[in-house]
Amino acid sequence: MKKLALHWKIIIGLLLGIVWAVLSGFFGWSEFTMNWLAPWGRIFISLLKLIAIPLVLFSIIGGIVGLGDPKHLGKLGARTLMMYLLTTVVAVSIGLLVVNIAKPGIWMAKEVRIENRIAYELWAHKEGYAIHDDTNLIADAANTELVKEVAKRRGFDEDEAVQKRLKLAADQKGSGPLSFVEDMVPDNVFGAMSDNGSMLKIIFFALFFGIAVLFVPQKHSEPVIDVVHGLTEVFLKMVDLIMKAAPFFVFALMAGLVSEIAGDNPAKVFELFKGLSWYALTVLTGLLFMAFIVYPTIMKFFVKRLSFGSFLKGISPAQMLAFSTSSSAATLPVTLECVEDNLKVDPKISSFVLPIGATVNMDGTSMYQAIAVVFLAQWHMIDLDFAQQLTIVLTATLASIGSAAIPSAGLVMLMIVLSSVGLNPAWIGIILPVDRILDMVRTVVNVTGDATVSTVIGEMDKK
Ligand code: ASP
């Protein structure tokens, strides 16, 4: 019998995980699932993350020294950044288009939206923000009682989960959306390497180091290059070994994840989804459009040798991992393998383009941020004008660059986008219940975008 391809095994693991979680909900096994299965999912993510930092470091250095010529590097770097920026702006723009057409935020009882609007106006007054558009419900005498009631009921004490994230965002907000440029330069390279959140710092160091190697006499650079290539191979082998067990790990990951949301009541998953279903559907529509219309079109134009079907088949293991781990960084080792082995992109190119992409290029995240902001505005009866939507394009692009490639990072950065157009960052609490599911899908788009761009750049470079 022909052996089942890895991506099929992973899909089976993924589905079995979900089935297991639902069953364990029915039979009251969720404690067993949380104690005995979920840890394996976390171990899997740790194993992948363990490899991510050294792999980024050595593959970027290896990519640069492989190019050999600083001029070539400059051209490649400029192309890469341009492509990444372009795809991100396209994603945000499509997101805005979709959310403005679908208007998922208006499908709610009028009274609730009025209360939301009042709560928003109260918040804006308290924080000293200018109020959007001409509606001024709290100034209307007819609303006096309602305003009092809303003020009392909502009291602005957001729940704990939101508070925790608010604190996280506050640190980032203080330094503005460009802070990532400043943060990019490490003052201690070992410090940076000991922190999974410092990927940009590591990329900076790797670029710097790799470029310096190019200028060192061959006698000294050769042994360094050999070591770098050798180490890269070893780390890739480690990924190979881990991936052999991926179907089981993915099973455990999904079982734990779904159990965590559902507990002993599987109906809860659907319950959570119901209230926010229009919003979630809008985000999913945008993301699927990106994955199945935009990327294939780009591929069609630039890469003639690959059909989109074979492209998808080639990167499907990476997509599956992105879906189950919600982390582009954890997926990176596998993305590299897929792009090099299945899509036949020159490792010199992919090892330079992909690690950077996993960190800075997040088309799915930026699109989701744009949709979420407009949805939350609609939910509170706020019309965002053209200039404000343009601000969203800019901040969502920057925020997605600044988002770490880990679960929920996009949600934290969303607060910055909200603040940039004068909206309450605590509103992320509203979409929190469905965020994990959307995170999984946007990470798939993030990874697919990186793979697309690296394949295109590889093709351009051949010419
Ligand atoms: N989880 C996403 C990623 O790793 C980032 C996000 O939260 O949007 O690509």
Per-residue model confidence as pLDDT tens digits over 212-230: 998 999 999 999 999 998 9
* Crossing angle for the helix pair 328-337 and 308-325, to the nearest 10 degrees: 150
- Tell me how far CA of residue 116 lies from CA of 104, 121, 271, 372, 428, in angstroms: 15, 9, 21, 16, 14
Q: In this predicted structure, what is the pLDDT of residue 362? A: 94
| Dist. CA 79 → ligand 1 center (Å) | 24
Q: Is the CB of 408 under 6 A from ligand 1?
A: yes
User: From the CB of 410, is ligand 1 less than 6 Å away?
Assistant: yes
- Annotate 121-143 with DSSP letters as a single string: HHHHHHHTPPPSSS--GGG-GGG
Residue 144 CB contacts under 8 Å (≥ 6 apart), including other chains: none
Closest atom of ligand 1 to CA, residue 405:
4
Instruction: Specify the DSSP class assigned to residue 4.
Output: P
pLDDT at 158: 47
Find out whether the beta carbon of 331 lies less than 6 Å from any atom of ligand 1.
Answer: no
**Atom of ligand 1 lying closest to residue 400 CA:** 8
**Residue 148 alpha carbon to ligand 1 centre in Å:** 39
Q: What's the CA dihedral at 375, 378, 382, 384 to 10 degrees?
A: 50
Residue 445, ligand 1, Cβ within 6 A: no
Residue type, 276: L
Q: Mutual orientation of helices 218-244 and 38-67 as an angle, nearest 10°?
A: 150
d(CA 382, CA 133): 7
pTM of the complete model:
0.82
The pLDDT tens digits for 29-38 are 888 888 999 8
361 lines ligand 1 (CB under 6 A): no
Looking up tokens 């997101």, which residue turns up? 95
Element (H, E) at 67: helix 38-67
Does the Cβ of 348 fall within 6 Å of ligand 1? no
With the most atoms of ligand 1 within 8 angstroms of its CB, the residue from 84, 408, 438 to mutate is 408
* Residue 202 alpha carbon to ligand 1 centre in Å: 18
**For residue 442, which atom of ligand 1 is closest to its CA?**
8
**Quick one: pLDDT at residue 157?**
47
* Ligand 1 within 6 A of CB of 409: yes
The number of the ligand 1 atom at minimal distance from the alpha carbon of 331 is 4
What distance in angstroms lies between residue 153's CA and the mean position of ligand 1's atoms?
Answer: 34
What tokens does 76 get? 């490649």
Give me ligand 1 centre to Cα 38, in Å: 21
Residues 418 and 379: their CA atoms lie apart, in Å, by 13
- Nearest-CA residue for ligand 1 atom 6 is 410
pLDDT of residue 165: 58
Distance (Å) from CA 24 to ligand 1 centroid: 28
Residues 6+ apart with CB under 8 A from 327: 45, 48, 49, 405, 406, 407, 443
Cβ 366 under 6 angstroms from ligand 1: no
Ligand 1 pocket check for 138: Cβ under 6 Å: no
Give the Cβ contact number of residue 163 at 10 Å: 13
Inter-residue long-range contacts of 3-11, CB under 8 Å, 24+ positions, other chains counted: 6/243, 6/246, 6/247, 6/317, 7/313, 7/316, 7/317, 7/320, 9/246, 9/247, 10/246, 10/247, 10/250, 10/317, 10/320, 10/321, 10/324, 11/320
111 Cα to the center of ligand 1, angstroms: 35
Output the CA 407–ligand 1 centroid distance in Å.
5
pLDDT (tens digit, 0 to 9) for every residue of the chain, 463 residues total?
567 777 788 889 888 998 998 888 888 888 888 899 989 988 987 888 788 788 888 888 888 887 777 888 888 889 999 999 999 999 999 999 999 999 988 877 777 778 888 888 888 777 777 777 767 787 777 777 777 777 766 654 445 555 655 565 555 555 566 666 777 788 898 888 887 667 778 888 988 999 999 899 999 999 999 999 899 889 888 888 888 888 899 899 888 877 876 666 666 666 656 668 889 999 999 999 999 999 999 998 899 888 888 999 999 999 999 999 999 988 999 999 999 999 999 998 998 899 989 888 999 999 999 999 999 999 888 988 888 889 899 888 888 887 777 888 888 888 888 888 888 888 887 888 788 889 999 999 999 999 999 999 999 988 7
Instruction: Concatenate the DSSP letters of all residues of 152-195 into one string.
Output: HHHTT---HHHHHHHHHHHHHHHT-TTHHHHHTS-S-HHHHHT-
Strands (E), 411-457: none
Q: Is the CB of 324 inside a 6 Å radius of any atom of ligand 1?
A: no
Helix (H, G, I), strand (E, B) or coil at 270: helix
Q: What is the pLDDT of residue 180?
A: 61
